[in-house]
A and B are shown apart, each in its own frame.
Chain A
Amino acid sequence: MPYSRKPTRAEIRRERLQEAINFPLDWLEERSGLVGGIRYFLFRKVPADTNWMQTLGSAALTAFLVQAITGVILAMYYKPDPKDAYSSIQNITDHLTMGWMVRGMHKWGASVFIILMFLHMGRVFLFGAYKYPRELNWIIGVLILVMGMMEGFTGYLLPWDQTAYWASVVGINLNGTAPFLGPWLAQFLRSGQEIGADTLSRFYSLHMLLIPGGIISLIGLHLYLVIRLGVTSPPWSREAAGMVPADEEPVPLRPGLTRPVPRTIAAAQGDAGGSE
């Protein structure tokens, strides 16, 4: 880089700092392309009229991450055995430092996660965002919801208190009333003819490993499709992407505004003498 004058020491220092910051990023980019990928994810265009309702999906993702993190920590103290499970839950909640907080976050995070999934689904329905070409993503979303409910079912047994035990008895027997394969499914869930120690460790394994693994994979697919297909505009929006009537082209971005203004509003503002 040619300089018209000799650079000051401050300028040299700033440039060296810049290089020091860029070096690891460039190194990573050259070897993995990850930086470009993240840049694509962050700076991809979304419709200018997205609104607050469209944050529900990422909020559900946040709740899931809370579940994942607190769950891993709880697993460090919880003992999935009928003889110890209840006392380990008591210990976590009442005696270990901040245990109540992590268990509380996990317990209430579950409810928040389920609520957010339902709200997110309602938003998608309201927007008609499950329509072409996003049908597949709707199905994946339904599967995530079902697996989330399965997480709730398997996790409910783990404290091994009366509520947990009997809710699981009824839940397993509900599955048992399914025609033909129900009795077999119930016995598989119980890991035998009666609820016992194996039932608890089985539910623990399903709750900790199998179902979360499934959810994480499905969330990955879900996000991939969101990025590939784009975010829908609110259907009632005047400047909804892909929905603008051909005879009413919106006015392009005015300098200083982040969202395009429909011609009618822009015209009205123009008549009023351009006041903000």
Chain B
Amino acid sequence: MEPNGPAPEHEEHDEDIHLPPPSLWPVGFAVGVVVVLVGLIINPTLISPIGGAIAIIFGVLWARDATAELRGQPIHVEPERREMVEAGAGETAPPADQQGAALPPPEPGETFPRSRFLEGTTLGLGALIGGVITVPVAGFAVLPSFLRQRGHKVDLGPVAGFPQGQWYIATFTVDPSEGAVSRRTAFIRNNGPTTNNEPSFTIISNRCAHLGCPVQANGPTGAILGQKTVHEHTANGPVTLEPVVPAGFGCPCHGGQYDTEGNRTAGPPVRALDRYGFEVDHGRLVLLSTYSVSHVIGTGGQAKIYKYKEAGPGQHVDGPEQWFYPLQPPHH
């Protein structure tokens, strides 16, 4: 008993009135229920049983608490602190001694006023109902944005379609089931085999590292060059490859400028352009997830790329400013 109350004072209240102390057990019970519900979302086999155990333990303690008096156990008195408040301090409600009692006085033989019990139970149950409603609803509103985010592979067609050294503006659909919403554009150059005789591609996302506007190639494209735009149809749906001779990349929104490796050269972008990972699968170029890049030293296959976990536009990944963005949400 008495898990949290202060030492009882008997001097002024030592009458036959016994008050049940405010108990923390209902709160523990509510926490247990909350853990069960959160567990259902995150890990039903591990977290839910833990929550269930918490709820049962606290539920039993609560029940013991509430029935202690019936079982004839002595009950410590919690001082009625509210009576210490000077009359007239709260002007909205009349003092308890005027206009009749808010609750009936204890019946003769009643050992503690029902008011305290009803108050505690009402608030406790209300909090429980609030929790039972709020937790799943808030969880459903927030958690799906962060959990089970899937990465996608994008088939861009045969590697042979990318002559060495030639830049292409590739537009493709990342997730065919989502349709046009997942269309993306990347600038792709085949760097030729590396010294280890592995394929090397520079694949730069056209999402500006400032605020995500569409970055454009600074250079003449297909029609001006007199070269044909390639239209392919792969497992991911239509893919277009437009040849381009970029002197760099630029963003028309706020003037960010990048060189052909995606390094920022001017304007507000906080880092280099993001890149796509890639693999060559059965002779086909397949794009993997994107990652963020602080800067790139060198060019093409020899470039040293300073890779970071994918971060949103405008977020620093290096330098002292990175401490503003210590934790990135899950991303694939």
Q: Which residues of A contact B (CB under 8 A)?
A: 82-83, 166, 169-170, 172-174, 176-177, 179-180, 182-184, 186-188, 190-198
Contacts and interface: CB of A to CB of B under 8 A. Distances in A.
A182 B212 contact: no
B182 A188 contact: no
Contacts of A170: 211-213, 253
Given A174-B211, A179-B324, A191 B144 contact: yes
A174 B313 CA distance: 8
B214 interface: yes
B328 A183 contact: yes
Contacts of A82: 179-181
26 contacts: A82-B179, A82-B181, A169-B211, A170-B211, A172-B212, A173-B313, A176-B313, A176-B315, A177-B314, A177-B315, A180-B326, A182-B325, A183-B311, A183-B312, A183-B315, A183-B327, A183-B328, A184-B146, A187-B145, A187-B331, A188-B145, A192-B144, A193-B310, A194-B174, A196-B181, A196-B182
B332 interface: yes
B329 interface: yes
A183 B178 CA distance: 23
B149 interface: yes
B142 interface: yes
Contact of A193 (B142, B149, B178): B149
Given A170-B253, A173-B212, A197 B312 contact: no
Contact of A182 (B181, B312, B332): B312
A8 B310 CA distance: 90
A174 B254 CA distance: 13
Interface residues of B, number: 30
A179 B327 CA distance: 10
Interface string B172-187: 0010001111100000
A191 B214 CA distance: 21
Interface in B148-195: 149, 174, 178-182
Nearest to B314: A177
Most buried by A among B149, B178, B329: B329
B312 A177 contact: yes
Contacts of B149: 192-193
Contact of B315 (A182, A194, A197): A182
B314 A169 contact: no
A193 B332 contact: yes
Pick from B181, B310, B331 the residue with the most CB of A within 10 Å.
B181
Contacts of A184: 146, 327, 329
Contacts of A190: 145
Contacts of B314: 173-174, 176-177
Contacts of A169: 211-213
A184 B312 CA distance: 10
Interface string B192-231: 0000000000000000000111100000000000000000
A126 to B, nearest CB: 34
Interface in B123-148: 142, 144-146
A185 to B, nearest CB: 10
Contacts of B324: 179-180, 182
Contacts of A172: 212
Contact of A187 (B179, B253, B329): B329
B170 to A, nearest CB: 17
A191 B145 contact: yes
Contacts of A179: 324-325
Contacts of A83: 179-180
A180 B178 contact: no
Contacts of A191: 144-145
